[in-house]
Each structure stands twice: as structure tokens, then as C-alpha cells.
Structure 1
Amino acid sequence: MSRSLQEEVVTSRLLIYREVALNSFRSWDGVIGALGLMAALLILLDAGGPVLAPFKLIMCLALPGWVLVSRLADADPAARLVWTVVASAMLFTVFAFFMAWSGIWHPRPVAAAGLVASSVAIVLFPAVHGFGSRPFDWRLRPLRQLIPLDRVRLLGRLRERSLRELLPWLVLGAALIMWGISLAMTGSGDLDTWGLLTKYPATWYLAVAAVLGLCIWGIGTRREIRARFLIASVSGLVVMLYASANLLTAVPRLPWSYKHIAVTDFIGATGQMDPSVDIYNRWPGFFASSAFLGETIGLRDALDYAAWAEIGFALLNVVTVLAIARALSRNPRVYWTATLVFVLANWVNQNYYSPQAFGYTLYLTMCLIVLTFLRSTPIMVVQVLEERLTRPQLPAIESYERPIGRSLRVAAIVAVLLLQAAIVVSHQLTPYLALLGLVPLFLLGYFRPRWLAPALVVMTLLYLIPNIGFIEQKYGLFTGFDPLANAGYQPRSDTFTDPAAWLMTTRWMARAAVLLSVLTGVLALAGFVRRLMQGEVRTTLMVAWMAVAPAFGLLGQSYGGEARLRIYLFALPWLAIGVAWLFWSGPLRTRKALLGATASLSAMALLFSVVYFQPEEDHRIPQGDVVASQWIDSRARSGDVIFEPGYFFPTLIGPNYPNYYRTIRVAPLSGLIKNLTGPVNAENIEKYADSIKPTSNVYVVISDNKREDESAAKLSLSGTVSNFERDLSFDNRASRVFESETVRIYQIAGTP
């Protein structure tokens, strides 16, 4: 048999298999509908456990949103993905919030009903431009009428591809394999003051450098930019940078995640929120939706999935920034460079399981919707300013507006209002940073209708008013109108067990963070100036304002020293676009632009690695601490006193956490050791505990973890904690009731 005949036979078989598969369903919409019904059945039966949890989660985050998004005729593919996920999440967030508010908590039936309704809608009313856009023909037509054989000669097309075309894919695959092997070599042992920087083997850095090089090559190549290759490369880089640290631990690594896990588990266990407990129960949107989805997919403890939030939010935000840049530019080099800058300059580490990460994703989605559907011509005063800034001899580089139908604009307005509502009930600061950027642009006419600006403001304030008293009493509504003071934050060097090492590493890390931020800002400013000089004024002014607007948040609030981090994070997508404009605003690719982009992105990658991975020792929570905290949470009762080892010990971890504010007292171990009068024994410890709160049981938690508060750190350096534990272990009334690789818990039982 000749080679051409063999190829035709193989191709014919492939086509037959394809047609048989298609004949199994009316259309792809039928496949999606069937999967949705299957997921609904599994949810109702509470079947599958953690094995099928990813499948149920994917269907919950894909199907309801796709019913709406598939109706968009020519939406950008990246925007479609973002809108599908966010629309689904928004639907369940609304249900979860009102169920938690009313106390009628039935997540599984509601989620199953939503999936069934979505499945029925997508099958009976297929979208014109969705997967099921073409009517299905049940007849088995001749193969050559289905798809011409000369267009699907699989073997022939593979042979025609040169090694030069396949080589980047081979390098990418080899780099990803090398990265996985490097993580296995890294292990999860103890860290020093250099964090993960000295723990990663050289092959890890080589793998990351190879993928970064592929991304830069894909953007700067003279040949046609291949979107699929850049999608794979940038996604691989995001996973390498944002998932490496999490994959080395068995539990969520950041201490700030555990309070959020506790709030989620409390709402999931009780089916309601309690505003008297804390501020999280007054802004419960994220926690209610997370508890809703956790119950739906069969993972009722947020600890089981919280660690995946970091990479999940990172990937979704990167896709959103890509879609935003594509809405502003038709130049592939611009929007891919902006995406890469966002990946490499996002050192803030705010993607962990938290309401602020959730709110930030919704904010980016709201900006994407506004840029896609609500753009308009600004008011006359602004037009005059734009004309004066425009150089007449240079034509505008890219068009700004495109016609949008009335129905799409109405849908976009409703979506913006819903997104802002979800942000308002989920986080305290995010809605105001969103208002700082968007409201002036609405009022100036860059986006319309202009009445949407006051509507967003009123919605935000109406939710704040009932909570002003609580905020003023607990935190203070304003920390002062001093931007410099609100932007400043000085960490305490004596919170670490090795101050000398802290001076050598942490301060240099802080300087690297400042350098990365300044580098990004300076390049973006140069990009804005170049863009203006080349004739495109409107988009430049709009993006520049979005980059500058978050800084006005420093006028009244420091947000516990974190305001500067939020401001940089909210400015970063727009700064990234400015950086991309600097290199690729010209009509042609130049060697100078390529060298500048390569040098800048390489420097960003180096600084990002230092800033992101060096503090790992100071932040990582050992698994032993988590297991010990779960043990205490399941046994602590009213009247108990718990002496914990330090600030980062995850005492608040489960649904029992409100009792720690009411009937259970948590006190620092360092205070017990410093204030204990007399010898270390159960009787004296009980007396000190009774002076704090009448006690039933006393739990003394001793951890080998180095991250302790200031007093505990000094005690550890002098060996006082070790001596205290040694003396306590000799007392017959003090029982060691728990022991893990890093934690020992002693219980002194009192009178019930």
C-alpha cells in the first residue's frame, strides 16, 4: 500500500470515529447539558467525595455562566472565559448571601436546581453562536462531504511541520517536566532566612528561565505571533511562579488564610452569619459563596481546598488582564507583553484564600465589562483637552469605540451593578478603590450611562451606613489624612529569632520590592508619554487615570499598614499596559524595542523571585501546627483558657471560632511565662489563668515553629520556653494530650 493511500485510510478512520462520536448527541450543547444533569445528580446524592469534587466544581463554575455568555456573538475568547466563570460564581454568591442572611441554608438543592435549569436552557434554547450553533444532521454523509480529506491529513501535516516549528513546544514540555522534577527535589524541610531561594535546585531556575525565554521569544518573534503557544507558555509560567510554594506544603501556607477558613466553616456549619462576632460576618459575601460551593461539591472543610485559591485566582486574573489589554489594543505584542508584566510584577502575594482576592477578581471583571460595552465619547471639555494634547500630524494608532447594541449595554449595566454589589458585601476596601477609578471616568463621559456612577456610590454607602458604628469602634473609620503616614509600614525586626539574618535578608527583600514597583511605574510612565506623543490620547488618559486613581485611597486610611499594597495591586494592570505601550507603540517591531522588553522582563522576573520566595520562612505554617489547631478547636469548651505560642499560630481554624471571642479565652504563652509567680506547675498556671478568666480547663500549646511574637521570640532565644516545658512535664496534673512533629499540647483539667 502506498504512503498516500495509508494516510488516506488513517484519515478516513479518524473521520468515521468523529462522526460516530457526534452522532451520540444532538450537538455539543447536548454534551454540556448531559454533564450538567450528571453533576446535579451527584450533588443531590452527595456522591463522589473528593474524587468527583473537581468535576462538580467545574460544572458549577462553567454551566450557568455559559448559558449567558454563549449568547455573545463576537466576544473575545479570553473575555468569554472570564465572564463564564465569574457569572456562575456571581449567581451562587447571590443565592449564598441571601440564604446565610435568612438562615435558610440548602446549598445542594439550590445548586442542583441551577445546574438542571442551565442544562435544560442550553439544550432547548441553544445559542446562535454557541457550541450548538449549527443544526445537527443525523444522516451519515459521505466523508469527503463532511471535511475535505486534503485539509485533515493528520500524518501529512505532521510531516510537513519543520523541526523549527515544533522545537518551542518541545522546549516548553521539557521545561515543565524539569520544573516538576525540581519541586520533587526541593522537598518540604525547614527553611532559613532566605526562604525558598536557596532550597530550589538550579534546575528549577533553569526551567523558569526557559519558559520566560519562550514567552519573550513568542512575543518578539518576527514571524506571526502564535496565540496557542503563548497561551501555553504564559499559563505554564503562572503555574511555575504561583503554585511552586503551595505544592511544597500539605496545608495552606499563609497564616492569614486560616481565619478565613474558620469563617467559611462557621457559615457552612451553622447556615447563617452572625454580625455580632466580627467584621467578617458583616461582609460575608466571599465566605458564604465559598461555604456554598464547598457544601455543593462535598468538601465541607475549607481547609481541603483553600490552598488552591492562590493559583486559581492568579490564573483567572491573568486571563482577565489579557482580555482587558485586548479590549484596548489590537496589537498582539501589546496585550501579551502587558499580561507578562502583570505576571512578573505582581509581588504583593494577595491571591491567597481571602475576600480581598475575590473582590479584586470581581473588580477586574467589572473593568473588562465597562471597557467592552460601555465606552463612549467624553464630554466637550474633555474633548477639547484631548484635541490640545493630540498632535495633528500623527493619526490615531488604534480606534477606541465600536458599536454596541442596546440589549448588550443594558446587560452590561446590570452586570456592573451586580458585581459592585458582590464586592460591597465581600470586602471593606475594594469597592472604594473601584469607585476611585471608575466613577470619574463615568462622570467625564468616557463610560456611559453617567448615572451609573452615583448608583455605584449610593450602593456602596448604603451598605456601609449600618456598619459605621462597628468599624469606628473596632478599627476607626479614618486613620488620618496623611498619605505618607498611611503609605508607611515598618516591620519589627525583633519578631524574628535571628535579627541579624533579618537585617541581611528581609530589608534587602523590601528594597527589591520597592525597586520592582518603581521599575514598573517608571516604564509605565514612559509608555504613557510615548503613547501620547504618537497621537493616541483618549485611551492613554483613561488607562493612566486608572493607574493613578488608587493612590488617592491613602488620603484617609492605612488599612493596617497594607493600603500601599492594595494601591499597587489595583494600579498594576494599568501600569502593565503602559509598559507594553512603551515597547510596542510603534508601527513596526524594532531591535531596540525587543532588547528593551527582554531586559525589562528579565529584571522583573529576577526581582519577583527574590520578593515572592524569600519570606517563605516567616510565613509558612507547618502541618503540625494546623493539626494541633484542629485538635484544640474540636475540644475547647466554654470557660477554657488556651495559651498559644505566637501570633501566627492558627488557633482560629474551625467553625468553633466565635466562641474564642465569647466564652473561650486565648492568651499568649509569652505572657504566661513572664507573669508566672512561683515555680512552673499546674497550680500556679491555674491561678494565672483564673486571673484572666474563671477556668474549666487550661491548654498550654508549645510549638517548635520559629515564627513567634516579639516576647516569645526573646524567650525562645534564651531557652526559657524549653525550660518551661521541661518543668511542666514533671507535674502530674499536666497531661500531654496532643503531640505532633512540631507541637505539644498540655492540659490542666479544672473543676467542671
Structure 2
Amino acid sequence: MTTEALHRWVRPPYLLLPLALLVWLLSLRTVDLAGMDDLGLLQVLPAGYWVAVVLLTAGFWLALRDRTVPVRWLTGYLLGLVAMIHATPALLYPTLRYSWAWKHIAVLDAMLRSDGQVPHAGGFDIYNQWPGFFLLNALYLRVTGLESALGYAAWAPPVVNALLLGPLLLLYRSFSTDRGLVWGALWVYYCCAWVGQDYFAPQAFAFLLFVTVLALVARQLPGAAPGGGAHASGSPERAGPPRLLPLLAVLLLEAAVVVSHQLTPLMLICVLTALALPRRNRRAVLPALAGAVLLTVLWDTTAARPFLARNLPEFLDGLTSPDSNVVSGLAGLGAAAPGQVVVAWVDRGLSAAVILLAVLAVWRRPWVRRTALPLMAAAPLPLLLANSYGGEMIFRVYLFALPACAFLVTALLRPTARSGVRATAAVAVVLTLLGGLFFGYYSKENMNYFTPGEVSAVARMIEVAPPGAVIVSVTGNVPGVASHYDVHPRVQLNQESEDVRRQLATDPLAALARATAFAPPGTPFYLVLNRGQAAECYLTGVLPADTVARLGTAVDEAPRFAVVDRNDDAAVYRYVPDPG
């Protein structure tokens, strides 16, 4: 190697990426998961982890300013960021993270046993009516010979986020050929995606397809052809007719979205409708919009009709209560743990900052007003007024608006001229946004993490519980408790009536009796108590923090409760009421 070549490879952009990854991996060796409390992983990740994050950020922005650094190195930095954020729990935890991921494993297993639609699904019947994600995974398991998705589901967050890099890059290159702007927007996106809808779930799958559809449609918009200057001009010339192959790909992706998730098709229709408002866009957008509307209506009036018919009154009520829909996700914080109150305000601050910076970009950067980006960012808002989506709509609107908002934020932060001061300020803002993401993404890990003891206790319960036995838990934060949901009725005490929840604090055994009174006389029920439920009660305040402990003490002292399994993190009890 020549001296000139050696000098090239010892520059900071080439050194900081491997150094940051090495420091990150070494830092994970000293993490004590038992030390998590109010702030989850934030409390137990060592200083080396945060040093690695800063090194990676510095290296990326140095590489972005040096046009001699190949694009593959920028890709490496972005994948390194994805790994540091999203692969860290997968590397640290010996079990699958997050209770909803476990529920989706249970749904997939039930569909495999039933060769499709699951009978007697109860509250899980919504998955029978939007089964696309699960059937695709079932096909993969059948082809590969794997018995369960449990082995790879833990890696869904890093994989989904890594796969998003491709469609996001395609989308951003539709609006600019400025390398710094495009790749900077990718970094900003990953720094602000705190909502956490990237686990093993239909939403993660549908969101990936949603962004891909937007990217393919955006490539057909006027002024979106690559090589057209520093920025896409958004010129008023009319778009040509959509090319056949991209249109077929869009229709196929839309079909996959429609059969997999109930909300994402509506978000897609909102965004495509917004893109079709300018007349010059319509020849490119209307075929995709017509396909999305037709497929959604066809599916919702056939396969999904039972669910929609049952929930139509709730949907109509939501349309008449836009004010309550907007604030439904901003739950009261009085009962939450002190650390979670701080986290809630950080999350709100991060989201507000992203939206404010995006609005400022539209004002301060006139060229972005000639693109479709402002329409893409604002399009999900009508759904926030239409329905609360169980209190989650405000977070889903942020999720679907973020791809456009991240680009707008970067357009605002990117210096219009080469200036070291402005570049440093931009990096400081990005680091602040990244810090906010860690609060939102890592702060609930004390309840998202399950120990092997919790998993083994629940597995033992499912193994011995006969069909028809009722399974009772305080909250739903139990790994694998939904297994065989088609043969085990479930009782979740925090979802019972207010009277039962109040009685749970004064007379736990009487509350248990009332909650299980629906079962035929003599039906056994199994009560599962675990560390994760106690953590959820403490962190969220859904029930008093000592609920799990008090209930455990009560059943330990009561007759007819037999211990099925017990360890340091979980206990399972069996109770058979007197048939008389």
C-alpha cells in the first residue's frame, strides 16, 4: 500500500466507524439487566455505550462532509446506528422482548395449528380478518422447516429498520440529488423514530410496505427524475402516465398492506389523496390511489366485515369526538413512576420539536414547498381527528408523518453554505434528537424484558392447563400467556370493571371470584404472577404498584390454591372452585 493510500484510510471517517462498533460491542459485556428501574436500559448501559454513539455520530457527519468517502461507508454508518439502537436488546436479552411480540407468536402458532383461520379466537379474531403478515410467516416456517418464529422474532426491530433504509433512500432521492441532504435525512429519521412500532408485528410489516409504495409513487411525480440538480424542482409540468412495472409493484404492495393491517391502508389512502391534490401529480398518483381505495373497500366489505360491523358504533362515535381523539394518547401521568413522567415529557418534546422544525423548513426553505413533502407530512392528520385507535392514534400519525418530516428537518438544518459553526450546530441538534429517542425507546425496558424464569413458568402453565381452563393475570405483560388462546379463556384484571379493580386493592380473593364467575362451576383457573406485571403496574400506574405482591400474598395464604410453578421471577397457581 502506498503512503498516499495509507494516509487516505487513516482519516477519521474510516476509523470512527469500526472504532465505534468495537466500543459498542465491548460495552455490552458489563450490562446488568437486574439494575433496570424507572428508566429501563438507560440506567444500566455503561459509559462505553454512549461513547460509541457519539463516535458513530461524529464519524457519520465527517463522512458526509467529505465527498471522497464512498456511499458504502455512509451505508455502514447508518446500519451501525440501526444496530446500536435496535440490536442492543436482542443481544442483551436471552428471551423475546415485549409482550405484544409474544402475542403475535401465539397467533402465528395458532394459525399453523389450524391451517389458517383460528376458530374460537375471541378477542384475537381481528387477526383472522387481517392475516397477511401471519400467513406470510407461516409460509416461511413451512418452507424452512422451522417449528416457530420465536427464534427470529427477537431480531425483527433491527431487520425491519435496516430494510427501511432502501425505500427511504429511494424516496429521498426523488426530492433531491444532494448527497448530504439525502443521507443526512436518513440519519435524522433513525434519530427520531422513537415510537417503537418495529417489533414482530403486522404494523412493522405494513409500515415497511407503506414507505415502499410512497417511494415508488414519488419517483413518478413531476420533477422527481434523478440528476435534475441539487434539489428536485417540483416544476409545474404534468407527470407522464405511470409506467406499467412500477404500477404493478405498487398494486401488489397495496394488496399486501390491505390484508395485513387495518390502519395502514387508511394512512396510505390519506397520503395518496393529498399527493393527488396538485393537478400536475394526478396522472402519476390517481392509479395508485384508485388501487388502494378499491382493494381496501373490497377487503373491508368481505373478509373484514364481521369486525367492522361489530365496531361500527365505536367508529361513528370517534368521528363525533375529534377533540377527545387528539388527547387520548396523552394519558394522565399522576400514577406513573417518577422516571416515566420525565420520559413522557421528553417524548412529547421530541415529537413537538420534529414537527416544529419541519414547519420551519417549509417556511425557511422555499424549494421544499414545490415538492410533495409538506403534503406527505400533513396527510395523516385527518385520522387523528377521526378516531383515537385505542389511544395510539397520535403516535401512529407521528410514525407515518416521520419519513417526510425527517427530510424537512434535514433541509432546515443543512447549511446553505459551507460553515463550520452551522455544521456543528446541526450536529448538536441531531444529537439532542437522538438523546430523546433513547428516552422513548429504552425507558420501558424494565417491563419489556422477560427473564428466563418468567418464560419457563408460563410455558409450564400452558403445558398442564387442560382445555377450557381459565387463565388469569393482573395485566397482559406476561410472556406467552396467550399461547393456545383458542382453548383457554383469558381474564386480565386491569381490564375488568372499576368495581373489580377497586376490590382488588381491598379483597383480592373476592375480586378474583367476581372476575372468573362467568366460567361454569368447577372450571379450574390458573393465576400467573410475574415480575413483568409488577413492573408494568409500577411504571404505568395502571394499577397500584403493589398489586401483584398483595395478590400473591393473598393466594399463598388461601386454601385450594396449589402452586404449579414458582421461581424468583414468577409464580403460577391452580385453583379449582367448589362445584357447589
TM over 0.5: yes
CA distance in 1, matches of 2:382, 2:513: 51
1:491 matched residue in structure 2:
331
Give aligned pairs, total. 558
Q: Is the 8 A contact 2:526 2:573 kept in 1?
A: yes
> Structure 1 counterpart of 2:216, which letter?
I
Aligned match of 2:299 in 463, 467, 474? 463
Q: 1:673 to 1:544 in 2, by over 3 A?
A: closer
CA distance in 2, matches of 1:317, 1:353: 15
Q: Is 1:260 matched with 2:80? A: no
> Structure 2 counterpart of 1:446, which letter?
N
1:707 matched residue in structure 2:
535
Aligned match of 2:553 in 723, 731, 739? 723
Q: Is 1:453 matched with 2:289? A: yes
Aligned match of 1:435 in 265, 269, 291? 269
Task: Find the residue that maps to 1:172 and give its secondary structure.
Answer: helix
Deviation at 1:367, TM superposition (A): 1.0
1:285 matched residue in structure 2:
132
Task: Find the residue that maps to 1:737 and give its secondary structure.
Answer: strand
CA distance in 1, matches of 2:512, 2:390: 34
Deviation at 1:749, TM superposition (A): 5.3
2:196 matched residue in structure 1:
349
1:162 matched residue in structure 2:
7
> Structure 1 counterpart of 2:41, which letter?
L
Q: 1:330 to 1:267 in 2, by over 3 A?
A: same
1:525 matched residue in structure 2:
359
Deviation at 1:265, TM superposition (A): 1.0
CA distance in 1, matches of 2:548, 2:293: 55
Task: Find the residue that maps to 1:161 and give its secondary structure.
Answer: helix
User: Which is higher, the Rg of structure 1 or of structure 2?
Assistant: 1
CA distance in 1, matches of 2:283, 2:118: 38
CA distance in 1, matches of 2:507, 2:392: 42
> Structure 1 counterpart of 2:387, which letter?
Q
> Structure 2 counterpart of 1:538, which letter?
R
> Structure 2 counterpart of 1:325, which letter?
Y
Q: Is the 8 A contact 2:196 2:441 kept in 1?
A: yes
CA distance in 2, matches of 1:312, 1:469: 34
1:582 matched residue in structure 2:
412
CA distance in 1, matches of 2:276, 2:508: 69
Q: Is 1:552 matched with 2:387? A: no
2:58 matched residue in structure 1:
213
Q: 1:307 to 1:455 in 2, by over 3 A?
A: same
CA distance in 1, matches of 2:508, 2:383: 52
Q: Is 1:473 matched with 2:473? A: no
Aligned match of 2:341 in 496, 503, 507? 507
The farther-off stretch of 225-234 and 694-703 is 694-703
Unmatched runs of 5 consecutive residues or more in structure 2: none
Higher relative contact order (CA 8 A, sep 6+): 2
> Structure 1 counterpart of 2:528, which letter?
V
Q: Is 1:359 matched with 2:206? A: yes
Report matched runs for 1:64-103 at 5 Å. Answer: none
Report matched runs for 1:297-376 at 5 Å. Answer: 297-372=144-219, 374-376=220-222
Deviation at 1:433, TM superposition (A): 0.6
2:395 matched residue in structure 1:
565
Deviation at 1:248, TM superposition (A): 1.9
CA distance in 1, matches of 2:54, 2:515: 56
Deviation at 1:537, TM superposition (A): 4.8
CA distance in 2, matches of 1:578, 1:672: 46
Q: Is 1:642 matched with 2:471? A: yes
CA distance in 1, matches of 2:442, 2:80: 18
1:235 matched residue in structure 2:
79
Report matched runs for 1:555-634 at 5 Å. Answer: 555-584=385-414, 586=416, 588-634=417-463
Deviations 1:635-655 (A, max 9, x none): 33333122323232245443x
Q: Is the 8 A contact 2:268 2:292 kept in 1?
A: no
What root-mean-square deviation, in Å, do the aligned CA atoms of Structure 1 and Structure 2 show?
3.4
Q: Is the 8 A contact 1:647 1:708 kept in 2?
A: no
CA distance in 2, matches of 1:321, 1:626: 37
> Structure 1 counterpart of 2:362, which letter?
F
> Structure 2 counterpart of 1:515, which letter?
G
Q: 1:526 to 1:673 in 2, by over 3 A?
A: closer
Q: 1:366 to 1:157 in 2, by over 3 A?
A: farther
CA distance in 2, matches of 1:167, 1:538: 37
Q: Is the 8 A contact 2:98 2:449 kept in 1?
A: yes
> Structure 1 counterpart of 2:406, which letter?
A
Q: 1:595 to 1:300 in 2, by over 3 A?
A: same
Aligned match of 1:668 in 493, 498, 503? 493
Task: Find the residue that maps to 2:42 and give its secondary structure.
Answer: coil
Deviations 1:172-204 (A, max 9, x none): 222211111211111332411121112111111
Aligned match of 1:187 in 32, 55, 67? 32
Deviation at 1:680, TM superposition (A): 7.2
CA distance in 2, matches of 1:322, 1:601: 19
Q: Is the 8 A contact 2:563 2:574 kept in 1?
A: yes
Q: 1:164 to 1:561 in 2, by over 3 A?
A: same
TM-score normalised over the length of structure 2: 0.86
Q: 1:748 to 1:368 in 2, by over 3 A?
A: same
1:147 matched residue in structure 2:
none
CA distance in 2, matches of 1:354, 1:333: 33
1:538 matched residue in structure 2:
370
Deviation at 1:415, TM superposition (A): 1.0
Q: 1:644 to 1:685 in 2, by over 3 A?
A: closer
CA distance in 1, matches of 2:378, 2:550: 50
Deviations 1:353-393 (A, max 9, x none): 11111100000111111122x22489xxxxxxxxxxxxxxx
Q: 1:695 to 1:686 in 2, by over 3 A?
A: farther
Deviation at 1:606, TM superposition (A): 1.7
The farther-off stretch of 183-192 and 710-719 is 710-719
1:84 matched residue in structure 2:
none
Deviation at 1:206, TM superposition (A): 0.6
Deviation at 1:234, TM superposition (A): 1.6
Q: Is 1:744 matched with 2:571? A: yes
Q: Is the 8 A contact 1:321 1:339 kept in 2?
A: yes
Deviations 1:529-574 (A, max 9, x none): 3331xx56532xx111000001111221111111111111111110
TM-score normalised over the length of structure 1: 0.68
Q: 1:313 to 1:691 in 2, by over 3 A?
A: closer
Deviations 1:432-485 (A, max 9, x none): 111111134236341535344223212211211233452342472242344332
> Structure 1 counterpart of 2:491, which letter?
V
The farther-off stretch of 168-177 and 254-263 is 168-177
Aligned match of 2:245 in 407, 411, 434? 411
Q: Is the 8 A contact 2:160 2:204 kept in 1?
A: yes
Task: Find the residue that maps to 1:745 and give its secondary structure.
Answer: strand
Q: Is the 8 A contact 1:253 1:622 kept in 2?
A: no
> Structure 1 counterpart of 2:181, which letter?
V
Q: 1:538 to 1:418 in 2, by over 3 A?
A: same
Unmatched runs of 5 consecutive residues or more in structure 1: 1-155, 379-394
The farther-off stretch of 464-473 and 670-679 is 670-679
CA distance in 1, matches of 2:85, 2:248: 36
Deviation at 1:233, TM superposition (A): 1.3
The farther-off stretch of 312-321 and 164-173 is 164-173
CA distance in 1, matches of 2:185, 2:544: 46
Q: 1:276 to 1:725 in 2, by over 3 A?
A: closer
Q: 1:644 to 1:162 in 2, by over 3 A?
A: same
CA distance in 2, matches of 1:686, 1:442: 57
